[in-house]
A and B are shown apart, each in its own frame.
Chain A
């Protein structure tokens, strides 16, 4: 009776005052793989949670095979054959694979007692075709990410899912693991499952999907046939403007080497990483998520200490054992997760700004609050922070302005090297631009910047030099001039096949 197995119309969802979905629509055909794309914070994850009944939409309609449905919980959606595999694998790490598969739909006898035997048998039957190497009695935490994902797929299959939603399943998989996942996904489609495949990677989309829908800033932008839309147009749809206008002009002069990282290794994270960064330069550290970029930064900043290797600051070898040391030497970190690592959401902005170097405001054992406020105002005006006043808490600000507070906090210290870990993550496009402007101004003032970023255009648009990491090692260094997305992508992906045994 309807072309679509699943259709959503004008779905609105707000959390407190924040609009996560603003009148989005979506159509899924029977037996297709439909890619859903959009930047971080575009509302994709909320969208899935609405489809699976975790959240109830504020308004809007959801049609399953043309019939209006209301989902009150995940149980309801499971009964209708809707299953999801979430971005951060949402397993119970201490519970066994079997139990993870059957949580919420346990096999029980009449007395309500579990039938472990039958569950284990069923779990094995479900897992076998996907992977031969998973022991269903082991706790979930002992599996690799790829294996955990397969368990999630098995879980979906155990519920006879007709509609399967996969939220960035390839984000932290090796290329070979991706290929296996593609094949499994295609097999599922051939078995008649309709799949919504959420991804950042164009590769995923071209390899699998027949249609693609794009969300941006909580809104529906459009849906296209994959073979009828150009790469350029799709990116434009996702980011909201043409790539060429996205980056401000650079004016910094590049000087001498400030920080040199010599051959550092950390067990379990990375090995033999070396690079240097010069005055006035932006060095991009890129590669796939999980390649060890963030950990390298954390080692430079003293959150962890490397097992081997050394740091040279302006020609002097320095020991960095803690963030206190790092700040003392003039190295600052803008952490990846600003909510938990960068900001104290309940304290006023000026206290956030002064937090990394309070010593300079101490007068006679007492903190001079008016000096603190003055300095914070000065810094925040420089980076054009939009806030009610300097004593407002960061929780009242937008993502972009929160990031600016963290910037101001770093600027309050006397630094030479700034490490920016995903500085534009979860920030809307306009605010991104002003962050880039701040970065350029800083380099013009002689700061050396190390920028970790997963967004290829950002890397190419902002960096002077690019270091690509792959699986804990440096996979290549490029001058930004003349480097293309393909070159970086190749370096971050190549010869993954070799290491699987």
Chain B
């Protein structure tokens, strides 16, 4: 049957996006290797991943929101708020074990996300505007709580820092282990649980979702809460990783997270996107930023390059979509 052949062709094409990304990644790595060979020591690769890990966490959360056809630009502010709260309480109560702060971060982050979920899911606010407002609010509270203060390494307890920097088996920092665990859990959640699949369902067709008995409000609320939770976790891990904190951390991180999602093939109109794509997007972004930071004088270029990458990625998505449409029309033409 002719149809079967066509389908496998389309199937190949959808796979080729990831393929293209991997190819791009390899090219990038090669170029980087030629220009700065020092990049390829185990240590530098690990530190590259370690310093970018929070972007990965943020991107996974952002991805869930984008799949519902929404967007959350308050995650940088959530990161800051949670980071500041954790640091301040930690500095004031050095005796408390580190795991408490992780839990606190998760809960606080989830609360921030839940607030977003409430006004977007239940009060039907436009996600962009709603999270713009909460971004202000969270960032403001972050400052209030910090009192404009900075925290420095000597104030950080070992138990706190261990969640980011402790080397498991003497090699892998714990923040990366956490990142990998989050990747796996997210993949499981999005691929293998009904709640996860419902996130895709409302993103791909809201009306069908309603008929299938899926409550759009609830799913949006869940996705935004999870996103906030991951942002909260990143806040705690960020401060633990660098052992410094101020209310200004995480500014513009939401943009990087969105960029990673788009690079990873998450459709901004909802319904499409996978964890493996986001992982590749994350790796690409990590290599690019690290590469830039290695070259002297190039660090001022990082923002411009990131912006250009996002535009290129979305434009690329648009063009593949258009050519797929054209191909579909051609197939239909054969039947006329």
Chain A residues within 8 Å of B, Cβ to Cβ? 49, 52-54, 73-75, 78, 86, 90-95, 99, 103-104, 106, 108, 112-114, 116, 133, 135, 138, 142, 144, 267-271, 292, 471-473, 499, 501
Bound CA–CA A471/B334 (angstroms):
11
Asked if A94 contacts B213 (CB within 8 A), the reply is no
Query: B47 near A: Cβ within 8 Å?
Result: no
**A73: chain B residues within 8 A (beta carbon):** 213
B36 close to chain A: CB less than 8 A? no
Q: Give complex CA distance A24, B33 in Å.
A: 75
Q: Which residue of A lies closest to B202 (CB)?
A: A92
Residue of B nearest to A113 (CB): B192
A94 pairs with B207, CB closer than 8 A? no
Residues of chain B with a CB closer than 8 A to A54's CB:
210-211
B3/A471 in contact, CB under 8 A = no
A95-B204, A114-B192 known; A135 vs B10 contact (CB < 8 Å):
no
Cα-based distance from A135 to B205 in the complex (angstroms): 21
CA distance A25 to B222 in the complex (A): 40
Residue of B nearest to A74 (CB): B213
Instruction: Identify which of B205, B208, B211, B336 contacts A271 (C-beta below 8 A).
Output: B336
State whether B336 touches A473 (Cβ < 8 A): yes
How far is B209's CA from A473's CA once the two chains are assembled, in angstroms?
36
A114: chain B residues within 8 A (beta carbon): 191-194, 197
Shortest CB–CB separation between residue B186 and chain A, in angstroms?
A: 14
**Which chain B residues numbered 147 to 196 have a C-beta less than 8 Å away from chain A?**
188, 191-194
Binding site for A on B (CB under 8 A): 1-4, 6-7, 10-11, 188, 191-194, 197, 200-201, 203-205, 207-214, 271-272, 326, 328-333, 335-336
CB-based contact A103/B201 at 8 Å: yes
**B4 & A135 in contact (Cβ 8 Å cutoff):** yes
Give B14's nearest chain A residue, CB to CB: A139
Q: How close is B272's CB to chain A, nearest CB, in angstroms? A: 5
CA distance A74 to B194 in the complex (A): 16
CB pair A112 B193 closer than 8 Å: yes
Is A92 a contact partner of B7 (Cβ separation < 8 A)?
no
Measured CA separation A75–B213 after assembly (Å): 7
- Provide the bound-state CA to CA distance between A31 and B330, in Å: 43
Contacts of B210 in A (CB 8 A): 54
B208 close to A90 (CB less than 8 A): yes
The reply to whether A106 and B197 form a contact with Cβ atoms under 8 Å apart is yes
Query: Of B11, B326, B330, B336, which one neighbours A270 at CB under 8 angstroms?
Result: B336
Contact of A112 among B7, B194, B272 (CB under 8 A): B194
Residue among B1, B193, B272, B333 having the largest count of chain A Cβ atoms under 10 Å: B333
Given contact pairs A95-B201, A133-B3, A113 touches B193 in the complex (Cβ within 8 A): yes
Chain A residues with CB below 8 A from B213, complex form = 53, 73-75, 78, 104
What residues of B have a CB within 8 angstroms of the CB of A75 in the complex?
213
Task: Establish whether residues B211 and A86, one from each chain, have CB atoms under 8 Å apart when the complex forms.
Answer: yes
Q: A114-B193, A135-B7, A499-B335 are in contact. List 16 more A-B contacts (CB 8 A).
A: A52-B211, A53-B213, A54-B211, A90-B205, A90-B211, A92-B205, A92-B208, A93-B271, A113-B193, A133-B3, A142-B11, A144-B3, A267-B330, A268-B328, A269-B332, A471-B336
Q: In the complex, what residue of chain A is closest to B201 when comparing beta carbons?
A: A92
**SS class, residues of chain A in contact with chain B:** loop
Residues in B whose Cβ lies below 8 Å from that of A93: 204-205, 271
B204 touches A94 (CB 8 A): yes
Contact across chains for A92 and B333 when beta carbons are under 8 A apart: no
Q: Say yes or no: B271 contacts A94, CB within 8 Å.
A: yes
| Bound Cα distance from A364 to B208, whole angstroms | 51
Q: Would B205 and A91 count as touching, CB distance under 8 A?
A: yes
Question: CA separation between A90 and B212, bound complex, in Å?
Answer: 9
**Option from B201, B204, B212, B328 in Cβ contact (under 8 Å) with A74:** B212
B333 and A267 contact, CB distance less than 8 A: yes
Which residues of B sit under 8 angstroms from A499, Cβ to Cβ?
335
What's the Cα separation between A92 and B272 when bound, in Å? Answer: 11
Q: Closest 6 A-B residue pairs measured CB to CB?
A: A268-B329, A472-B336, A74-B213, A90-B208, A114-B192, A94-B204
Question: In whole angstroms, how far apart are the Cα atoms of A268 and B271 in the complex?
Answer: 26
Interface CB pairs A-B, < 8 A, 23: A73-B213, A91-B205, A92-B200, A92-B205, A92-B208, A93-B204, A93-B205, A99-B197, A104-B214, A113-B188, A114-B191, A114-B192, A114-B193, A114-B194, A133-B3, A142-B10, A142-B11, A267-B326, A267-B329, A267-B330, A269-B332, A471-B335, A471-B336
Known: A104-B213, A267-B330. A116 touches B205 (CB 8 A): no
Complex interface: chain A residues within 8 A of B207 (CB):
90
Q: Please indicate the chain A residues that have their CB under 8 angstroms from the CB of B208 in the complex.
A: 90-92
- A103 near B197 (CB under 8 angstroms)? yes
A74 touching B211, Cβ below 8 Å: yes
Complex Cα distance, B305 from A141, in Å, reads 35
Report Cα–Cα, A74/B200, bound state, in Å.
Answer: 19
B270 to chain A: closest CB distance in Å? 9
For A471, the chain B residues whose CB sits under 8 A away are 335-336
What is the minimal beta-carbon distance from B198 to any residue of chain A, in angstroms?
8
Residues of B within 8 Å of A49, CB to CB, are 211
Identity of the chain A residue whose Cβ is nearest the Cβ of B195 in the assembled complex: A112
A138 and B197 in contact, given A54-B211, A74-B212 (Cβ under 8 angstroms): no
Residue of B10, B331, B335 with highest tally of chain A CB at under 10 A: B335
Centre residue among B3, B191, B214, B326 by max chain A CB count within 10 A: B3
Chain B nearest CB, measured from A164 CB (Å): 15
B192 contacts which chain A residues (CB < 8 A)? 113-114, 116
Q: What is the CB-to-nearest-CB distance from A475 to chain B, in angstroms, rounded to a whole number?
A: 12
The interface residues of chain A lying within 8 Å CB-to-CB of B211 are 49, 52, 54, 74, 86, 90
